[in-house]
């Protein structure tokens, strides 16, 4: 054969090999053993005492923002989760099952979140995915976890569409936008005559804006102005000037990054005495620290009630482990989720493959987050976590969060 024909023949042969390989390869796609539908009757029929005789390890895959701005979103829950894992393992695990965590960075980028989820599911073969905080990332990740049949629990994502319609494997731990927005709207309308909004141009920001606009309408009111900023913005004076012209006395800040502190500083520099009403994204140490005193008096939603006993115990343990008190509720989310997983496990007699069903069977879970009355119950058509009684209004005094007094 002539050389050129030889080349072409090789190409054809190789292509055929590829096609054959794909056709003959096993249909099973994912590397995880969990399957979408219920396995046989394994755990069902046995009348043994649930978890008797079973043991093993629950592998948790954690995806969060561990670098870049807003890294506190990923680091804090992880810390709480690791604390919980350590405590539980030291106590012998849950019904003989120990825990382990593998973490991945999503760099606040949905595409990277997807890759991280893929890695956790295929390579690390985790039993459950915890993440992400940022709504856009969580959303993207569901494509992976739904396909793989691995439960995904987001500690903080608030975007409404995540649970509407309910995705079989996605669970929300925290509040959703609709509830947060409603609470914020009610509070703002009560305490301020005119309210404006400042939001970031991300899924988190946009989702919040949509929810807030709807919530205000439902209360028969309106935001006087809604100004946007990019995550790279370093000066918010134009936006704040607009808000001032609109007469805003209270400004809801839908931000998770440094721009919250920037708002406080710019307000001070402008001599504009509007008060910041913060989405829970502001409940982080960086806010008062970066604002250098300008954050005093800002109102922030937190999820920790320091009068609650469980909360005090948690704070003590956290301080013993990390040398400082948690600033707000973020670490508690990770902490609670691990316990939540433990409870889900016992719900299905420690059949790890049915963890999802175990989650749906959670009823009245109470953890560190929220007031005494706050609890989580899931169902097959309800994958939402906490409600309004986990939202506690606080204000910044001396750089710390204290209960709101008006």
Q: Select 50 or 69, whichever has its Cβ closest to another protein.
A: 69
Q: Select 89 or 125, whichever has its Cβ closest to another protein.
A: 125
Q: Select 148 or 359, whichever has its Cβ closest to another protein.
A: 148
The least distance separating another protein from the CB of residue 353, rounded to whole angstroms, comes to 19
Task: For the sheet with 275-278, list strands across it.
Answer: 226-229, 195-200, 250-254, 275-278, 299-302, 392-397, 400-403
Helix (H, G, I), strand (E, B) or coil at 132: coil
Distance CA 289, CA 64 (A): 23
The least distance separating another protein from the CB of residue 392, rounded to whole angstroms, comes to 25
For 45, other C-beta atoms within 10 Å of its C-beta total 8
The phi, psi pair for 130, rounded to 5°, reads -110, 120
Q: Select 140 or 341, whichever has its Cβ closest to another protein.
A: 140
Q: Select 50 or 258, whichever has its Cβ closest to another protein.
A: 258
Distance CA 173, CA 132 (A): 11
Helix (H, G, I), strand (E, B) or coil at 157: coil
The least distance separating another protein from the CB of residue 237, rounded to whole angstroms, comes to 4
Distance CA 357, CA 11 (A): 49
The least distance separating another protein from the CB of residue 115, rounded to whole angstroms, comes to 8
Q: Select 75 or 336, whichever has its Cβ closest to another protein.
A: 75
Is residue 346 a contact partner of residue 300, using CB atoms and an 8 Å limit?
Answer: no
The least distance separating another protein from the CB of residue 116, rounded to whole angstroms, comes to 10
| Residue closest to 328 by CA, chosen among 291, 301, 309 | 301
Q: State which H helix or E strand residue 129 sits in.
A: strand 128-130
The least distance separating another protein from the CB of residue 369, rounded to whole angstroms, comes to 24
């Amino acid at each position: 054969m002539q050389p050129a024909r030889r080349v072409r023949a090789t190409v054809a042969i190789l292509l055929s090999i590829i096609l054959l390989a794909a056709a003959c390869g096993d249909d099973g796609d994912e590397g995880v053993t969990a399957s979408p539908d219920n396995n046989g009757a394994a755990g069902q029929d046995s009348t043994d005492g649930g978890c008797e005789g079973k043991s093993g390890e629950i592998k948790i895959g954690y995806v969060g923002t561990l670098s870049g701005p807003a890294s506190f979103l990923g680091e804090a829950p992880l810390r709480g989760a690791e604390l919980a894992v350590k405590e539980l393992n030291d106590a012998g695990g849950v019904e003989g099952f120990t825990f382990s965590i593998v973490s991945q960075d999503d760099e606040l980028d949905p595409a990277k979140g997807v890759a991280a989820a893929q890695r956790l599911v295929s390579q690390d073969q985790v039993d459950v995915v915890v993440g992400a905080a940022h709504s856009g990332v969580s959303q993207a990740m569901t494509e992976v976890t739904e396909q793989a049949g691995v439960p995904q629990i987001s500690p903080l994502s608030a975007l409404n569409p995540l649970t509407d319609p309910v995705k079989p494997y996605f669970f929300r731990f925290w509040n959703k936008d609709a509830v947060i927005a409603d609470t914020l709207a009610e509070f703002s309308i009560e305490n301020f005559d005119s309210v404006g909004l400042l939001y970031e141009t991300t899924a988190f920001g946009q989702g919040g804006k949509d929810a807030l606009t709807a919530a205000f309408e439902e209360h028969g009111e309106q935001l006087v102005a809604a100004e946007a900023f990019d995550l790279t913005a370093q000066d918010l004076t134009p936006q704040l000037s607009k808000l001032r012209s609109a007469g805003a006395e209270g400004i809801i800040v839908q931000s998770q990054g440094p721009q919250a502190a920037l708002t406080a500083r710019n307000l001070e520099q402008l001599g504009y005495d509007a008060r910041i009403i913060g989405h829970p994204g502001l409940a982080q140490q960086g806010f008062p620290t970066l604002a250098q005193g300008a954050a005093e008096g800002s109102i922030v939603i937190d999820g920790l009630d320091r009068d609650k006993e469980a909360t005090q115990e948690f704070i003590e343990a956290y301080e013993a482990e990390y040398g400082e008190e948690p600033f707000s509720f973020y670490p508690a989310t990770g902490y609670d989720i691990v316990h939540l997983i433990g409870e889900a496990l016992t719900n299905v007699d420690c059949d790890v493959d049915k963890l999802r069903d175990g989650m749906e069977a959670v009823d009245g879970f109470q953890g560190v987050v929220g007031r005494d009355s706050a609890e989580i119950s899931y169902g097959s058509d309800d994958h939402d976590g906490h409600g309004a009684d986990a939202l506690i209004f606080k204000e910044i005094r001396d750089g710390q969060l204290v209960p709101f007094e008006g």
